[in-house]
Amino acid sequence: LLYANGEIVLPESTTVQLAPGGRLLANAGRVEVQGDVVSAGGSVTLAARRTPFFAATTATDAPRLTLDG
């Protein structure tokens, strides 16, 4: 479980390998995954939420999630 008021960033050259059936929960004002998360039969939850550092007021600057792959 990862929680932050700011950002959680997984850099491009990083791989997080979860144990079979493992879980990853990342909850922050901004969650950016450029690297890889591998989960065999597990779960990955990424949540962007309002925080003191990310208090969005419009849809264009609200926290968002983009999946590519």
- Residue 12 and residue 6: Cα distance in Å, rounded? 19
* pLDDT value, residue 64: 55
To 5 degrees, how large is the angle CA 6–CA 9–CA 15? 155
User: Which pLDDT belongs to residue 56?
Assistant: 59
Tell me the average confidence (pLDDT) per consecutive run of 10 residues in the chain, 69 residues long.
89 92 91 89 88 65 52
Structure tokens at 18: 């979860």
